[in-house]
A and B are shown apart, each in its own frame.
Chain A
Amino acid sequence: MNRAAVLAMIALAAAIVLPLLVPGYLVNVGMLVFFLAFIGQSWNLSGGFAGQTSFGHVVFFGTGAYTSTILHVTYGWNPWLAWPVAMAAGGLVGWIIAFLSFRAGLRGSYFALITLAFAEVFRILANSVPFTKGGLGMLIKAEPGAANFQFRDPVWFYYVALALCVVSLLIAWRLTQSRFGARLVAIRENEDAARALGIDVFAEKVKVLVLSGAMAAAGGTFYAQKYLYVDPNIAFGVDKSVEMLLVAMVGGAGTIFGPLMGAATLTAINEGTRWLASVVPALKNVQPLSLIVYGAMLILIVGRLPDGLASLFARRRRHA
């Protein structure tokens, strides 16, 4: 086993025993980090590796959240069973969006805007159609028990999020080792050259969006089960799209660990500024402070570290 694999094993072991050592509040923060890293990775597959920047990735997240919740609440499905169906629904929406926009030849900012438009349309639809209960949202009845994808002890949500995060890292790692991944990077770097070298650009882009959509949808179901509530703004609001994009960009788009690093950084800023506002009276009215720090952070990253935090490590390794 090489050094990186050993380090990864140690980090995983530490993440597994962590809840035994720290207070519940930090376990919850850890859960948020892994969850954010997971949905950030779903953005990273299509936006980072394949270079198809999306501003509306929440459309897949919300599709997943609503699909499993409707199946569970309205039709009485077990949420665990509804989970794969939600992922399939996310993949299907990914296929539809990819098929329509890539067939029409949309690239770059045009594709980004189309995804944003889709997310907004879904939000408005969720607000108005009867089977989502409109703007009221849907409540999932609390029936604590692992069999219902609800846990009496929140530490289990931490472990599910950790598992999702590990799976997403494995998918990203696998991508860097495979032909599919090499083709996605080629498409990102130069679409015409990729075409000339025999790559069916359209098919590869559709594939990655299906994969990414299914992953984000899995995140949606997890979120709905954790908070036992979905409404159009939570499920299809633009802020989640921005979060997914931001964690990947801050951490390093197109890298394996970028979304995890970005998620840790953003969550730390979020929690840190909240704590600061609670102890420094002068900051009490500067709300939300976290957004100001996010903004400053983004300016710094874009200006100084366009390849994200992950590039710091890559650079150091090269010098060593």
Chain B
Amino acid sequence: MYDAEFIREERHSETVRRYKDRIRIFVILYVFGRTLDDPNNPQRKKRFDTEMRLQKIDFLLRYPDYFAFELLKLAEEGKANRDEIKKIVRSILDEREPELRRHEMQRFFFGSYEDIDDVIAFLKSVDFVEFSSEKALDMKTINKIYFVTKQGVDRLEGMIDTLPLIGWYVERAELIKRFFGMKSAAELKRMQYLLDEIKSAGYRESIAGITHRVEQKYDDLYGGTISETGF
């Protein structure tokens, strides 16, 4: 009886995971996609380049603590408004996002990676996304290019107001875009790889959270205000 229950639970959590992957990846393509107006392909509304970039952005979306850490680094280097960063990071910690919203990811050869072929195949089958491959300039690497279709854009824009929890993903993606949207996949990768927590995770092991480092850095930058709020 215990085993049957267990298998049912496992299968069920697999389903939950699948749905969440689909919506998250789709939100990234939608938010980060460059708007298109191609008379030859009028159904293609947005274009997003390379799978690697998609993976790295996904990582920031899944680990609020890493996102906060990168923001603090920007503030530290004077590349962003200190007060604004303070407010964002404060809210991430206050809402206990690292604890409640972290969606763990495994380390692949060069940082975070998760197979998203199934997700893309699904999005393609319902005609939300089109997809093509191009040889890169070095003629070795294959770059994957994703197009969000009119059908996909319409669905998201039509329903988003009624889906508050998915709305959170859209808002967070927009925030990531605002601070890191200009960075290339290679830059995002480098940024990630500097962190010991990612380096030290074994191949195919989950990447650990870094909430304590975020709190530490926040303290260093803004003084001991963390403890006042109970963290």
- Same complex for A and B? Answer no
Residue numbers of B with Cβ under 8 A of A are: none
